[in-house]
């Protein structure tokens, strides 16, 4: 074995330190195509925990820049050898972030041998150990931790991968493509060779080696291709894989039927691992999943787990075409694949289950999280103009707002023309790395609709604010409605331009009937393209109640001076279930704001009778979907409520929200009790849409009973836990005990702990409950839970469950006026900075969104951010967010 010299090791160490001290911002405008292309890459892995040897043979050709050097990215690598066309090569030097090779021919074969330490890799990027298995995560820039390479998404090469390892420890050796060879080696080792026939960027490379249980199945595509399906999980988890396999087959069938897209390899594999920063990764033919989004049975997984598994399985499968076969030219185009694929998985979930419930859930993400991101220091458009650390742009803006942009295109074009645009996009760009502009061009050319103005959504950040006024002329029977769009300055952009905003509108008469708006249609999509625009509807006999932005047809905040009576009218009669829910949310938000203002004026909290009557009408309505009723009573979070105020009062928002919820619980107590008993299911558990809705309403009712009658709630919780045949009802009872601070709380939580302490995914639910407890002792409790037998600080799922829940979902205590919450989070960020900066950068979000808080809290938060800046080798992930927050 040839060792690299200590001099080179020291050079590499100083380079890494220099990267940390001098972060360089990258700009979309600076994109340049590579002077070199790689036609093929043959990889050979000799797997060992602490000294894996990687041999990489690249077939490279120069396409521009005569005599220019070749820069290959590389991090945390020990270089063992370099040859060009089989000869030792000395014309290289280690430079910041990689290696530079000079005096190269125009066409050559490059062989590079490196050594890496997977066991020491706690960042979970590149090749690392996940429990007892080897695993990779290469998106966005993890491949450079495996070997020196042109690690950029516009370099597409055909990969072959040979893996050798101890056969007893690692009987399954997996990579991309099709298995073409395998056999035994000396010393109890064996090998498997994989060939992927489709060119791909390095971020889609995957390798897994371990000992697993495997669920096998098959799928036959509509053209007759037989595809082997293999789902790998840790030993003992095979009984939790059936739902994931069903979701995969449903995804494959749905993509053929809805988008006319077929799978293209002979095998499709999924591997579930415990240590994973993301939800899942769409590596070509070998998806690697966080086990959270694979494992489920009725005893250990909730209805939401089942739905989440279905959505994420679908998402990664749909990437096969929208992300893999057609990929991004550069990482600024990330929403090209993620926004489009989120839209596709949302549509899949809606077609498979409840469309209204799915739409409500997706809008909650926008309002509770994305709107805040738009208003904070990390504000950015779905196609950012600049970036320091690419991992920081795996955001709700790029993913969820990106999906909303695709949804707006679908709304403007309609299903038929949208599908024509998709077909043209695939036809034009299969096998290419392209841009968001290429996607919009395909939609324009296929539909004939001018989308020039619409493209501003890709480059302009912020949440548009729409004010709406109307006028009815009884003499001419005409109704006019005026929209004014305001696009406020954001942290990243000062000057804004009008956007192309689709407004899906319905007009209701006094009887609740939708007024015909032409061509037999009772709703119409208006195109708002100016700062102020008026639309006129003729032959309207009376002043209607406008139902605007049906299904939230654009990711905006809108304001119309609805009276309580008009909101009740929408709740009762809107044909769009989402709009009924939205009207209920507007009514709740209106009185949340009113009650904060009352208390600020020295007055008592108060609610009008109509408010209670409105929600009574919902809860008592036997014809409404049960899931919709439950959603109507799941009001805006305290985090989301901050978006309703120019200046946030943490305590008053908390108190006012609690007052309203408790008032409803008390006033509607008999109806909640009736609904609870009415929707208890006695049949065997099934994750079917109707059953999910029944459980959802029953557990919603139990939560409200716990706030109004603790004695009854205590009895119901104990009984529900004793009789529950599924985790949904068990957890629903625990949530009621937690929310109502019931007498049985400690007992039922201890029983749950003793039953499930060996199952990390189940215990994540328990940790999250502990972190969400409304108690002055919650932070001390969390600190103690770091030493719990089920907690593993190095596991991202455990951290998200305990720390993430506290800082994101327990706003009142996170924002404690003594600053203890801020200090606690900063302590964790400092620890994670050197261990897993990706997770740290995701956890920091509530610490940088302080713009609307009071002066004292802003000072306390900035003090903690400055504390972060003072630590040595602050990761780029944290550096970017901290400096942007402090610059405001």
| DSSP-derived 3-state class of residue 648 | coil
305 vs 298: CA distance, rounded Å: 10
Residues 6+ apart with CB under 8 A from 246: none
Could you report how far apart the first and last alpha carbons of the chain are, in Å? 53
**Residue 19 near residue 141, CB atoms below 8 Å:** no
The DSSP call for residue 634 is: S
Tokens of 720: 């529900």
Cis peptide before 140 (omega within 30 of 0): yes
Tokens of 205: 């490379």
In 122-253, DSSP assigns E strands to: 126-130, 133-137, 158-166, 172-175, 178-184, 189-195, 207-210, 212-220, 226-234
Tokens of 395: 């955001």
**Residue 84 near residue 108, CB atoms below 8 Å:** yes
**Residue 71 near residue 95, CB atoms below 8 Å:** yes
Tokens of 514: 């939708």
> b/e map of 414-433 (b: 16 or more CB within 10 Å)?
eeebbbbbbebbbeebeeeb
Would you name the residues annotated as active-site residues?
Answer: 316
DSSP 99-156: EEE-S--SEEEEEEEEEE-GGG--S--EEEEETTEEEEE-TTTTGGGTS-B--STT--
**For the purposes of burial, counting CB atoms within 10 Å of the CB of 699, is it exposed (0-12), middle (13-18) or buried (19 or more)?**
buried
Closest to 803 (Cα-Cα) out of 834, 833, 772, 758: 772
Q: CA torsion sign, 526 to 529 to 531 to 534?
A: negative
**Residue 476 near residue 427, CB atoms below 8 Å:** no
605 vs 395: CA distance, rounded Å: 37
Residue 171 has phi, psi (to 5 degrees) of -70, -25
385 vs 829: CA distance, rounded Å: 27
417 vs 31: CA distance, rounded Å: 32
- Please, where are the H alpha helices in 648-743? 650-667, 669-678, 689-708, 710-723, 727-740
Tokens of 632: 């109507």
């Amino acid at each position: 074995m040839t060792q690299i010299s200590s001099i080179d090791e020291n050079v590499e160490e100083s380079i890494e330190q220099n990267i940390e001290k001098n972060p360089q911002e990258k700009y979309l405008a600076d994109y340049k195509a590579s002077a070199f292309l790689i036609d093929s890459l043959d990889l050979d892995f000799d797997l060992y925990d602490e000294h894996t040897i990687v041999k990489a043979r690249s077939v490279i050709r120069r396409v521009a820049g005569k005599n220019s050097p070749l820069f290959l990215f590389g991090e945390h690598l020990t270089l063992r050898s370099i040859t060009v066309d089989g000869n030792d090569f000395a014309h290289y030097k280690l430079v910041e972030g990689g290696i530079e090779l000079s005096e190269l021919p125009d066409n050559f074969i490059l062989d590079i041998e490196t050594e890496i330490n997977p066991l020491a890799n706690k960042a979970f990027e590149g090749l690392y150990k996940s429990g007892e298995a080897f695993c990779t995560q290469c998106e966005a820039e993890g491949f450079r931790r495996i070997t020196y390479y042109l690690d950029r998404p516009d370099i597409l090469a055909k990969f072959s991968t040979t893996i050798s390892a101890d056969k007893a420890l690692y009987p399954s050796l997996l990579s991309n493509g099709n298995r073409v060879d395998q056999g035994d080696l000396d010393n109890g080792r064996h090998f498997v060779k994989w060939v992927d026939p489709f060119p791909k960027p390095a971020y889609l490379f995957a390798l897994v080696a371990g000992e697993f249980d495997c669920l096998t199945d098959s799928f036959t595509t509509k053209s007759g291709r037989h595809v082997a399906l293999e789902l790998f999980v840790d030993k003992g988890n095979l009984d939790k894989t059936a739902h994931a396999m069903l979701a995969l087959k449903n995804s494959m069938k749905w993509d053929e039927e809805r988008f006319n897209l077929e799978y293209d390899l002979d095998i499709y594999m999924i591997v579930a691992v415990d240590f994973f920063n993301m939800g899942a990764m769409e590596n070509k033919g070998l998806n690697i999943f966080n086990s959270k989004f694979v494992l489920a049975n009725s005893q250990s997984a909730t209805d939401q787990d089942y739905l989440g598994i279905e959505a994420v399985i679908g998402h990664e499968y749909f990437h096969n075409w929208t992300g893999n076969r057609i990929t991004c030219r550069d990482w600024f185009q990330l929403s090209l694949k993620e926004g489009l694929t989120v839209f596709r998985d949302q549509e899949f979930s809606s077609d498979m289950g409840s469309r209204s419930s799915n739409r409500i859930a997706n809008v909650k993400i926008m309002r509770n999280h994305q709107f805040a991101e738009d208003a904070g220091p990390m504000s950015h458009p779905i196609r950012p103009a600049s970036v320091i650390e690419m991992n920081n742009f795996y955001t709700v803006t790029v993913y969820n707002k990106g999906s909303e942009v695709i949804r707006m295109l679908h709304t403007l074009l309609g299903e038929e023309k949208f599908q024509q645009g998709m077909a043209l996009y695939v036809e034009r760009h299969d096998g290419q790395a392209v841009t968001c502009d290429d996607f919009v061009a395909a939609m324009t050319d296929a539909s004939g609709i001018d989308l020039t103005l619409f493209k501003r959504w890709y480059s302009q950040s912020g949440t548009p604010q729409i004010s709406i006024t109307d006028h009815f002329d009884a003499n001419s029977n005409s109704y006019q409605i005026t929209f004014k769009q305001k696009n406020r300055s954001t942290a990243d952009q000062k000057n804004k331009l009008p956007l192309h905003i689709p407004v899906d509108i319905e007009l209701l008469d006094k009887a609740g009937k939708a007024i015909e708006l032409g061509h037999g249609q009772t709703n119409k999509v208006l195109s708002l393209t100016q700062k102020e625009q008026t639309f006129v509807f003729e032959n309207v006999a009376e002043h209607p109640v406008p139902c605007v932005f049906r299904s939230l047809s654009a990711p905006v905040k809108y304001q119309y001076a609805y009276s309580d009576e008009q909101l009740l009218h929408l709740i009762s009669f809107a044909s769009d279930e989402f709009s009924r829910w939205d009207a209920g949310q507007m009514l709740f938000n209106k009185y949340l704001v009113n009650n904060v203002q009352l208390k600020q004026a020295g007055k008592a909290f108060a609610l009008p009778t109509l408010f209670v009557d409105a929600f009574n009408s919902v809860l008592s309505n036997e014809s409404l979907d049960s899931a919709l009723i439950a959603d109507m009573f799941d009001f805006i979070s305290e985090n989301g409520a901050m978006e309703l105020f120019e200046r946030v009062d943490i305590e008053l928002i908390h108190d006012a929200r609690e007052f309203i919820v408790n008032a409803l619980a008390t006033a509607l107590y008999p109806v909640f009790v009736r609904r609870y008993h009415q929707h208890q299911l006695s049949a065997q558990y099934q994750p079917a849409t109707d059953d999910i809705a029944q459980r959802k309403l029953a557990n919603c009712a139990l939560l409200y009973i716990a706030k109004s009658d603790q004695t009854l709630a205590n009895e119901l919780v104990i009984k529900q836990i004793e009789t529950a045949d599924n985790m949904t009802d068990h957890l629903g009872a625990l949530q009621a005990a937690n929310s109502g601070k019931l007498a049985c709380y400690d007992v039922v939580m201890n029983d749950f702990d003793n039953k499930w302490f060996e199952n990390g995914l189940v215990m994540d639910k328990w940790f999250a409950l502990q972190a969400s407890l409304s108690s002055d002792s919650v932070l001390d409790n969390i600190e103690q839970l770091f030493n719990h037998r089920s907690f593993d600080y190095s596991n991202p799922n455990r951290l998200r469950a305990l720390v993430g829940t506290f800082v994101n979902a327990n706003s009142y205590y996170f924002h404690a006026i003594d600053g203890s919450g801020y200090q606690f989070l900063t302590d964790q960020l400092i620890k994670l900075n050197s261990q897993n900066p990706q997770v740290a950068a995701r956890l920091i979000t509530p610490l940088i969104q302080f713009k609307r808080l009071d002066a004292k809290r802003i000072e306390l938060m900035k003090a903690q951010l400055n504390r972060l800046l003072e630590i040595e080798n602050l990761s780029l992930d944290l550096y970017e967010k901290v400096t942007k927050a402090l610059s405001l």
